[in-house]
Amino acid sequence: MSDSLETPLSKVKRGPNRAQYDKETAFNIIDSALMCHVGQTKNGQVFVTPTCHWREGDYFYWHAHSKARNVKGPIDEPEKVCINISQLDGLVMARSAMHHSVNYRSVTLFGVPELIDEKEEKVRQFKVFLDKVSPGRWETLRPVSDIEIKATGLVRIKIEEASIKMRAEPPIDDPEDIDWPVWAGVIPLEKKWADAEQDPIQTEAYALPINPNAS
Amino acid sequence: MSDSLETPLSKVKRGPNRAQYDKETAFNIIDSALMCHVGQTKNGQVFVTPTCHWREGDYFYWHAHSKARNVKGPIDEPEKVCINISQLDGLVMARSAMHHSVNYRSVTLFGVPELIDEKEEKVRQFKVFLDKVSPGRWETLRPVSDIEIKATGLVRIKIEEASIKMRAEPPIDDPEDIDWPVWAGVIPLEKKWADAEQDPIQTEAYALPINPNAS
């Protein structure tokens, strides 16, 4: 069993020096993000849909209304979708305009979505998702209903065909520009969870939920 | 002249109550973000590529190596690409699992990319882009070279077919769940630029660059 996600389709052609195919690295980037972008086609037109995702083992999951394009489309008309998960980490300020860049982590994933239709497995996955969003919260909530389970479409793809691209370094300028008199370096982008805003219609004091590690 | 971006293709089918088509609102979301996700096809396979973008007037621009898929592909094989620009603003914590949601702003844009090949216009657009990344920085940099201009592909699409989806509110629970004894509300996600990290090979003191309003 190889832990490489490289295939002829996922192999990176442009900037191959920044490409990786290691499964663990892909898992870390996938888990660090709450949202991904699902690319699919319908009648020959490409669509990109942002959605929340989660992972269990080698599988990548997302959900939506059972009639939504990004869960129903690839089941009705099976195709290999493309999903990108990316994190912007900083601005790279170089001594010349075209050497400016960004520091980032990005996974591009390919696979044919598979519908999860079995009720107990759906509920189990919804809990895996909520445990990503706020660990321990699932048990404190009003239980999910049969109607909600039915109305929610759940799909997954196996993580076996993907590429990673990352940049995490200072600017790389042309050698002859190194002494150009302008500040050069990286401005990191930080994301943080701000103070929780309680629902205005709720006046009781309850314990705050736990924030996710992903963002 | 209408300022609506609604067309049969861009009309939102799922969750139409959260959909808008107003050009100014779309511009604001586009301008708030540094990165977008470009969806396109090649030989029938969909690809999603994250990239930086900028806007001038009614046009949406991105650039890449002149041979990169996301600038060369739609020129060699013209097609209507789909671009999503989205911002995650917060987690919406409800009293039941399936009413959890996210607050977000998202624009989905369709159009056939047009190549910008004229040298002076390319340079002018690179400056527009850098003015978004760091206002006033362009003038302080080593000027762009003819080789750099030639090696960089620049494309644009007119912003005339798009949809906006937004959510910016507390959880919406079922009425019978309102008194369920669990904290409910929104946890906002904040992004901020952290302390600039000067290139380690640069020891002189220079004025720090101005941070972008987008992130």
User: Has residue B1 got a pLDDT over 60?
Assistant: no
To the nearest 10°, report the CA torsion of A172, A177, A183, A185.
Answer: 10
User: Has residue B73 got a pLDDT over 90?
Assistant: no
Q: Are the Cβ atoms of A186 and B197 closer than 8 angstroms?
A: yes
ipTM attached to this prediction: 0.96
pLDDT tens digits for B153-182?
999 999 999 999 999 999 999 999 999 999
pLDDT tens digits for B193-202?
999 999 999 9
Q: Which residues 65-124 of chain B have a CB within 8 Å of chain A?
A: 65, 67-69, 79-84, 86, 88, 91, 93-98, 100, 102, 104, 106, 108, 110
User: Has residue B2 got a pLDDT over 70?
Assistant: no
The per-residue pLDDT for B125 is: 98
Tally of residues, chain B: 215
Topology adopted by domain B16-174+182-188: Pnp Oxidase; Chain A (2.30.110)
Asked if A131 reaches chain B (Cβ–Cβ under 8 Å), the answer is: no
Where do the domains of chain B lie?
Answer: 16-174+182-188
Q: Find the mean pLDDT for residues B78-97.
A: 97
CB A126 within 8 A of CB B100: no
d(Cα B132, Cα B110) in Å, to the nearest integer? 23
Q: Are the Cβ atoms of B84 and A50 closer than 8 angstroms?
A: yes
pLDDT tens digits for A39-89?
999 999 999 999 999 999 999 999 999 999 999 988 888 999 999 999 999
**3-state DSSP of chain B:** CCCECCCCCCCCCCCHHHEECEHHHHHHHHHHCCEEEEEEEECCEEEEEEEEEEEECCEEEEEEECCCHHHHHHHHCCCCEEEEEEEEEEEEECCEHHHCEEEEEEEEEEECCEECCCHHHHHHHHHHHHHHHCCCCHHHCECCCHHHHHHEEEEEEECCCEEEEEECCCCCCCHHHCCCCCCCEEEEEEEEECCCEECCCCCCCCCCCCCCCCC
Q: Find the mean pLDDT for residues A172-200.
A: 98
Substitution target from A141, A148, A193, A215 for chain B, most B beta carbons within 10 A? A141
CATH number belonging to domain A16-171: 2.30.110.10
The CA–CA distances, whole Å, from B119 to A168, B61, B145, B154 equal 31, 15, 11, 10
pLDDT tens digits for A110-150?
999 999 999 999 999 999 999 999 999 999 999 999 999 99
